[in-house]
Amino acid sequence: MMKIVIYPGSFDPITNGHIDLIARGAGLFDKVIVAITQNSSKTAFIHLDDRLALICDALKKFSNVEVKTFNTLLVDFAKKEQARIIIRGLRAVSDFEYEFQLSGMNKKLDANIETLFMTPDEQYSNLSSSLIREIALLGGDISNFVPHNVYQHILKHLKK
């Protein structure tokens, strides 16, 4: 049976840390579905449609990675995609509490779904989308932290 895994997140924006995890997942499983959540559209840094297009483009070199958006319960989306495994990243101990709660709740919602935690290469352990947003808004250089197409999109849209 095909081992399909879901990697959910808001990816607003996607960072090189996320991509490190996706590459690890793509090496371990038959298919990785990167599942983008809308969150509140009013507070989105990059519009959901643009995020989808940018992430697809940044990940096109991975033949077994698909990118989708979803606005349902994660466990329902996983079931629909015939995935039993959710991948999440752990950068530091500080991620643990929230991730522990989330995985426990998802298990209560659907006992068949497992959450697997992976750590990125340590050069990415201080990277977060929220920090990238803050640095970009203050005019800092984020070119080393996100894929090139995402960097260019952010530069262009911040100038407006």
Among residues 50, 54, 43, 48, which one has the least CA distance to residue 18?
54
Residues within window 60-119 making contact with ligand ADP, judged by CB under 6 A: 88-89, 91, 95
Question: Which of these is catalytic: 40, 41, 42, 94?
Answer: 42
Region from 13-21, 24-32, 67-75, 132-140 binding ligand ADP, contact rule CB under 6 A: 13-21
22 binds ligand ADP, rule: CB under 6 A: no
Question: Which of these is catalytic: 10, 18, 31, 88?
Answer: 18
Q: How far is the CB of 4 from ligand ADP (least distance, A)?
A: 17
17 binds ligand ADP, rule: CB under 6 A: yes
18 binds ligand ADP, rule: CB under 6 A: yes
Sign of CA dihedral 46, 159, 20, 98: negative
Cite the active site residues. Answer: 18, 42, 91, 129
